[in-house]
Amino acid sequence: MIQVCARNIDDVWFGLACAEPQVFATSFGKSEQEVLGNLLDSLPFNVPFQVYSTPLPFAQNALSSLKTIYDGEDKNFHFTLAVEHLPVYTQRALKATRQIPAGYVTSYGSIAKVVGGGPRAVGNVMANNAFAPLVPCHRVVKSDFTLGGYGGGLKVKYQLLCREKRGFTAEDTVDVEGKEMSIYPVEFALKRLDSIFSRKLPF
């Protein structure tokens, strides 16, 4: 039985669908309804679930971990994500996305380079990411370092990235299935935005 629950922390709703020790979906947003809706949309077709008003300890712990990530802190969580029901390509793209450390971003194209397929296919996977912000799809931007899109809204994506500033200055790479994927300081993207909208952001 999958446990579905949501909790408000510092005025943000965080949601989780899990069956200890597996996490089936995560979500966050500004209303409980929005978050629960996202979770239910992400659940595999006909698995039984139950909505809990008071989350069990495992869920409580996972929910506060989401809040930690939301705040831009960089603890290493090792949750087991339930992805078997997803297409293989989707699994690989999500896995690559998980390798992007806080403080860095990469592009849809860079991910495509290591997992195959094309940039738009990667964009599709991000758009359907059932594990935000646990799988940090907010760290994936366009090749010109503008933001691209975000399910929760561009403002949210921008704010998440701002909190993850680490002061890195150089391009780097991470290992994804034996291949090197390029990553870039998040500042590259933030500065790019500043230069385009020297005063006002478009949101």
CA distance 6 to 85: 23
Residue from 12, 109, 182, 192 that binds DNA (CB under 7 A)?
109
Residue from 49, 58, 89, 168 that binds DNA (CB under 7 A)?
89
- Asked if 104 is part of the footprint of DNA (rule: CB under 7 A), the reply reads no
The values of phi and psi at residue 11, to 5°, are 75, 15
Give min distance, CB of 74 to DNA, in A: 18
Give min distance, CB of 108 to DNA, in A: 3
Range 61-80, binding DNA (CB under 7 A): none
- Give exposure, 27-41, as e/b (b: 16+ Cβ within 10 Å): bbbeeeebbbebbee
Q: Which listed range, 28-36, 61-69, 134-142, 177-185, lies at the site for DNA (CB under 7 A)?
A: 134-142
Q: Which listed range, 18-26, 63-71, 76-84, 103-111, lies at the site for DNA (CB under 7 A)?
A: 103-111
Q: Which of 5, 18, 137, 162 is catalytic?
A: 137
Active site residue 137: yes
Amino acid at 76: N
Q: Which listed range, 14-22, 60-68, 146-154, 176-184, lies at the site for DNA (CB under 7 A)?
A: 146-154
Residue from 107, 181, 184, 185 that binds DNA (CB under 7 A)?
107
- Asked if 192 is part of the footprint of DNA (rule: CB under 7 A), the reply reads no
CB 147 within 8 A of CB 154: yes
Give min distance, CB of 126 to DNA, in A: 4
Active centre residues (catalytic): 137
Under the rule (CB under 7 A), what is the footprint of DNA? 87-90, 107-110, 112, 116-124, 126-127, 129, 132, 137-138, 140, 142-144, 148-151, 196
